[in-house]
Amino acid sequence: MRLKGQVALVTGGGTGIGRGISLAFAREGGLVAVNYSKSHDKAEDTVRQIRAAGGQAIALQADVSKEAEARRLVADVVREWGRFDILVNNAGWTRRVPHSDLEGLTDEIWQRTFTVNVLGAWYCCRHAIPQMQRQGRGCIINVTSVAAFHGKGSSMAYAASKAALTSLTRSLARAFGPTIRVNALAPGMVETGFVEWPPGEYDAARREVATPDIPTVEDLGEAALYLAADARATTGTTLFVDGGVVPLGPRGTRPSVQPKQ
């Protein structure tokens, strides 16, 4: 088992991408702390699924955008299992605001978006890293977004927050390597239930990918598992799980070369 006995905290771990990561880690022997802020029932359901499959997991409530709660969350994980090996900063928040709506993107939306998406990750890192240093190793995975690279997304605030988290990933990797590896996982269009897509947008996104299907939460779980278990020489980088849209460009816009007649 690739994560046998390793302790992992997945923030926002009971739903969507977080659930996919929690299940993947547990399947490979990880001891998984499934964090939630408000989605108690979904977190408990994720824990039940893990235990039913023979894995170990607990559900822990905390709003990671509040430092005191993030500190308590990390301490609870260490208290439960005596160590802390993997942190997945997956908790996120957004509100859909058209990018052309200058008045609709209020200060409150900006503040809430950055507080959860950036400071929440930072608070968890701040309190997990000392424990990892004492152990002599650790792994951090920040779930960002392709919005950080192409400037789209549910709002400009969301895209900017994920760009900030991507930059933080590189800074943390530089500051705390070689003891701790820090990487980012950047999903594109994923069927998670996190965002209700407008009519026609899903089909449009489906036409852009260069893979047979739009990535699933299971695909994201496998990608996170790779970063946590196998990518020992990888740090400070971003792994795209977006069907090739960012690396290659949308399928409809990639240049094609026609043979000479």
Write the pLDDT tens digit of every residue in 9-20.
999 999 999 999
Residue 258 reports pLDDT greater than 80? no
Contacts of 73 (CB under 8 A, 6+ apart): 9, 11, 33, 35, 60, 62, 64, 124
Among 36, 158, 202, 226, the one annotated catalytic: 158
* Residue with more model confidence, 92 or 214: 92
* pLDDT band of 201, cuts 50, 70, 90: confident
Sequence-separated (6 or more) residues with CB below 8 Å from residue 75: 127
Average pLDDT over residues 220-226: 98
Residue 31: which pLDDT band, with cuts at 50, 70 and 90?
very high
Dist CA 114 CA 124 (whole Å): 14
pLDDT over 90 (residue 51): yes
pLDDT at 247 (0 to 100): 86
Average pLDDT over residues 69-96: 98
Cα–Cα distance, 8 to 147 (Å, whole number): 26
Distance of alpha carbon 229 from the chain centroid: 16
Record the tokens describing residue 238, joined without a space: 């971003």
Active site residue 226: no
Tens of pLDDT along 144-196? 999 889 888 889 999 999 999 999 999 999 999 999 999 999 998 887 655 56
CB distance 11 to 34 below 8 Å: no
pLDDT value of residue 252:
55
CA distance 127 to 189: 31
State what percent of residues in the chain have pLDDT above 90.
78
Rounded distance, CA 23 to CA 104, Å?
37
Q: Which residues pair with 31 in a beta bridge?
A: 7, 56
pLDDT of the residue at 62: 99
The pLDDT assigned to 189 comes to: 83
Position 94 confidence tier, pLDDT thresholds 50, 70, 90: very high
> How does residue 260 score in pLDDT terms, banded at 50, 70 and 90?
very low
pLDDT at position 246 is 85
Label residue 107 by pLDDT band (50, 70, 90): very high
The number of CA neighbours under 13 Å toward the Cβ of 240 is 19
Q: How many CB atoms lie within 10 A of CB 246?
A: 17
Cα angle: 146, vertex 218, 81; to 5 degrees: 100
Residue 261 has pLDDT above 50, yes or no: no
Residue identified by tokens 């959860």 is: 116
> For 7-253, CATH number?
3.40.50.720
Adjacent-strand bridge partners of 186: 240
Domain regions of the chain by residue span: 7-253
Question: Pairing state of beta strands 31-36 and 56-61?
Answer: parallel
- Note the pLDDT of residue 194: 55
- pTM to 2 decimal places: 0.92
pLDDT of residue 197: 64
